[in-house]
A = this chain, B = another copy of it.
Amino acid sequence: MINHFTAQDLLGLPSRYRANLINSCTGYKSCNLLATKDKNDVTNVAIFNSIIHIGSNPPMLGFILRPTTVPRNTYKNIKETGYFTVNQVHKDIIADAHHTSAKYDEHISEFDKTDLNEVFLGNFHAPYVKNSAIQLGCKYINEYLIQENDTILIIGAIEHLYIDEKTLHPDGWTQLDKVETVASIGLDGYALPALLDRFKYAKPDQQTESLLNKS
């Protein structure tokens, strides 16, 4: 049975129902912890499911900040210091990762309120999340105001990438299920994917072929 919602139906829904529905109906989202440190050395870590690929040459990512709902400490610290890290969330830390969305005072570090641990690598300003299998050290580059609803798209350059080598295929592709990376559904759901297949570059009038050795 298919339910049909028109734009008018959607606008008439209770706001929590609409937020759940619209946040989850467009598919799985990436699930990462963003960590920062302010100028007084207070660290912060917060879950984000809006990290997107911007480009690989040079390597850049983006994420959306919703000023009214998302912890603003992350944004404040990024603007203040210029640096943040992006850390993969795996199966065993989803409860703590979710807890970082609680609204703590800005002088409290979520690292002190969870079993997540911070680790500093090299001379990088922002902390990484210890034991995360994929950790990116990023530098703030730019931001774009989405004027339709006052959200902000932040653009970051990837300056460091630490990655568990067991995820890495010989051509650079990263098999995320080898380290139990999770995906988000909406604002509060966490799912564990398993690889189905990986396909060769698609060409007109040629059948889709697997890149995996399934023997």
**A41 part of interface (Cβ distance < 8 Å):** no
By beta carbon, the residue of chain B nearest A101 is B202
Candidates B157, B165, B204; contact of A1 at CB < 8 Å: B165
By beta carbon, the residue of chain B nearest A211 is B188
Chain B residues with CB under 8 Å of A19's CB are: 56-57, 172
**A116 part of interface (Cβ distance < 8 Å):** no
Binary contact readout A188-215 vs B (1 if CB under 8 angstroms, 0 otherwise): 1111111111111111111010010000
Considering only residues 157-203 of chain A, those with a C-beta below 8 Å from chain B are 157-166, 168-169, 171-177, 181-183, 185-186, 188-203
A201:B173 contact, CB within 8 angstroms: no
B202:A5 contact, CB within 8 angstroms: no
A196:B94 contact, CB within 8 angstroms: yes
**A79 part of interface (Cβ distance < 8 Å):** no
Q: Tell me the smallest distance from the CB of A209 to a CB of chain B, in Å.
A: 9
Q: Tell me the smallest distance from the CB of A159 to a CB of chain B, in Å.
A: 5
Candidates B21, B61, B182, B192; contact of A174 at CB < 8 Å: B21
What are 19 A-B pairs at a CB distance below 8 A?
A1-B165, A3-B168, A4-B162, A7-B59, A16-B172, A20-B171, A23-B53, A23-B56, A27-B183, A29-B52, A55-B151, A91-B196, A102-B204, A144-B146, A173-B188, A175-B185, A176-B185, A177-B191, A189-B198
